[in-house]
Amino acid sequence: MGQIDSVNQIHTHCLVRGLPISFESSLKERIPIIPINLKLAKKQHEAYIDILNSLIPNLIKVEEDEMHPDSCFIEDTAIIVGDIAVISLLGAIQRRGEEVLVREAIQKAGIQRIYGIKHPGILDGGDVLFTGKDLLVGLSKRTNYEAVLQLRDIFNGSLKVFSIPVIEGLHLKSVISTFDSRILILGACQAGAYIADEIQKQSELKDNYSLIFVPDPVASNVLRIGTTLIMQEGFPMSEKVLQDLCDERGVKLIKLNMSELIKADGALTCCSILFQI
C-alpha cells in the first residue's frame, strides 16, 4: 500500500444519521441541568445536515435507529481514511449495533476495503483524529491500546498511528480537532494542556503541528470542510480566536448552535463521517 497523502483532502462524501425520538435517553457523562429539548435538538441536527449538504457533493443519510438513542453520533461507528474503512467495536456496550447499517452504507458508497476492530480492542471514532498526515488515537473510557495496535496493523505503515491518553472528557476530539493538516485546535483546559504536552513529547509529532488554544473546550471541536470552518455558536471568546485564524487563512467561519446535542456530550464532528472517493 502506498503512502496516504491527504494533506489537502477534499471531502466528496458525507455520512449522517437521523436523530431518533429516543435521543433524550442518550448516554451522558453528566445529567444536564436543563433537560434535552427534543424538538430543538431535531431542528439543530437538521440545520447541521443542511449545511453539510451545501458543502459536500454526496450526502448519505443512514436510517434512524430508535433502539440506539446515541446513533445520530455516527462518527463513533467508523473511521475512513483514503480507501480504507475501519468499523468500530464501540466502547459502550449499549451502543453496539449502531455500526451495522453504517457498514452497509459505507460499502454501498463504494469503499470495499472494510476492516473491523476485534475484541479485546474497543474503539470509538470520536477518539480518532486524522490530521491529514497522522492518526492520533485517544486512550479513553471508550478506546483502548489494543485498538491502536489493530489500527497499526490495518494501515500497515501507510500512515503513522499515535496514542494519546485522554485524562478527562468523553473522547480525544472533545478537546482537539484540526483546522488544517498543520494546525490543531485545542481547548484551554487540563485535558487540552495534557494532550498538547503529549504531542510535544513525541518527536515525530511536535515539529509537524502548530497548536492553537481556544478558551472554551466545547469550541475546540470544529469541522473543516474545504474553505469553510464550522464552530459552535455561543462562545464569543473562542469565536474571536477562530475568526482571526480564518481571516488570516482565507477561510469562511460558520457558527452553528448545537446546544441540545452538547447536553449529550455531542460535538460538531460527532454527527458525520466525511471522506473522499
Q: Which residues are catalytic?
A: 171, 270
First to last CA, the chain: 17
C-alpha cell at 271: 454527527
Q: What burial class does residue 189 get, using C-beta atoms within 10 Å of its C-beta: 0-12 exposed, 13-18 middle, 19+ buried?
A: buried
- Contact status, residue 159 vs residue 134, Cβ threshold 8 Å: yes
Pairing of strands 134-139, 160-165: parallel
Beta bridge partners of 115: 86
Contact 27, 70 (CB under 8 A): yes
Q: Minimal CA–CA distance to 62: which of 78, 51, 47? A: 78
Residue 135 falls in which region: left (phi positive, over 0), alpha (psi -120 to 50) or beta? beta
* Amino acid identity, position 50: D
